[in-house]
Amino acid sequence: MPHSTRRAALRATLRDRELDALLVTNLLNVRYLTGFTGSNAALLVHADTDDNAVFCTDGRYLTQAAAQVPDLERVIDRPCDAALVGRASKAGLDRVGFESDHVTVDGLDALTEAGDGVELVRASDLVEQLRVVKDDAEVEALRMACAAADRALADLIEHGGLRAGRTEKDIARELESRMLDHGAAGPSFESIVATGANSAVPHHRPTDAVVKDGDFVKLDFGALVDGYHSDMTRTLVVGRAADWQRDLYRLVAASQAAGRAALEPGARIPDVDAAARGVIEAAGFGEQFLHGLGHGVGLEIHEAPTLSRAGDGTLLPGMAVTVEPGVYLAGKGGVRIEDTLVVRAGAPELLTLTMKELVELC
């Protein structure tokens, strides 16, 4: 994993911000920069050289830290954040950034006391800004996570797991089990299985509701592989689809295709949302599209960028995002279609490979 390359990019940011170092306490950011997967750690990244970077964890992770972070000085201490700020003080560092969005008021008091003579500077989102663009190793992990989800859904359908008479909870449990069978460490999030009128609830939680013949069944789920999350949604019909279901599905599919096509480097994020949303608005269902078009995925299931009308900035090559328009007819049923993709020059790389044609399970 290119952890040293990621730390080099962070050091350039620190120099731009005139910071001598950054104290990293968000465990996902520690993992991104070092590969460490334990539950307690902190990292001090110096702006000048990687040779001065210091990793800290506690005694429970002595062996794990040696295996996962062999290239950095390792300190066994607790609390790690205060220990590293103390080292910054002894090293004569003047301005040390800290992840202010992850430090409590009491925690800042403790850091101030430990860092005698150190100016602690709010420096939130510095690592998150780097995480927005995925490197090759991250894309490969996302690719494997999407494949695990694709295969799990294919198995579920092939073995009759989606049929009338089953409950939403039963289907969700089997779907998550099958993702494990295909290499996932677990689900990316609590799987959504919504049948009939429940499919019109965007984030419905599975219940004991029973699938009936003629129902829409909406499945929103993902697999976790090497810490990276996939995210996909497919909406199927158990039995034969009614005309209104076919029409609604075609509309959302057209919107989703327009959103995918708009994923180009340099595209304004609100324009990407508008490309998909405009298809639905033109059909008169704009008020039934109840959420943004998508979001970034990676070490978190929801991370930057946010694809919505209120989104800010432009797309960059290597961003991993979802495209997931939906139309929800309250009390009747809804359709959402979602893929995970990577922004590329020419055309986005599609990581979710399950077919998007309307499936009727007869």
Contacts of residue 353, defined as CB under 8 A and 6 or more positions apart, other chains included, come to 146, 147, 150
Q: What is the DSSP letter of 167?
A: B
pTM for the structure as a whole:
0.96
pLDDT value, residue 1:
61
Cis peptide bond N-terminal to 305, omega within 30: yes
DSSP per-residue letters across 93-134: --EEEE-GGG--HHHHHHHHHHSTTPEEEE-TTHHHHHHTB-
- Collect the ranges in the chain with pLDDT lower than 70: 1
How far apart (Å, rounded) are the C-alpha atoms in residues 66 and 13? 27
Contacts of residue 25, defined as CB under 8 A and 6 or more positions apart, other chains included, come to 42, 80, 81, 98, 99, 102, 103
How far are the Cα atoms of 136, 161, 284, 357 from residue 250, in angstroms, in the given order? 34, 25, 14, 9
How far are the Cα atoms of 14, 34, 95, 116, 202 from residue 17, in angstroms, in the given order? 5, 22, 10, 21, 41
CATH fold group of domain 136-361:
Creatine Amidinohydrolase (3.90.230)
Q: Which CATH superfamily is domain 3-131 in?
A: Creatinase/prolidase N-terminal domain (3.40.350.10)
pLDDT value, residue 2:
87
Q: Where are the domains of the chain?
A: 3-131, 136-361
> How does strand 326-329 pair with strand 333-336?
antiparallel
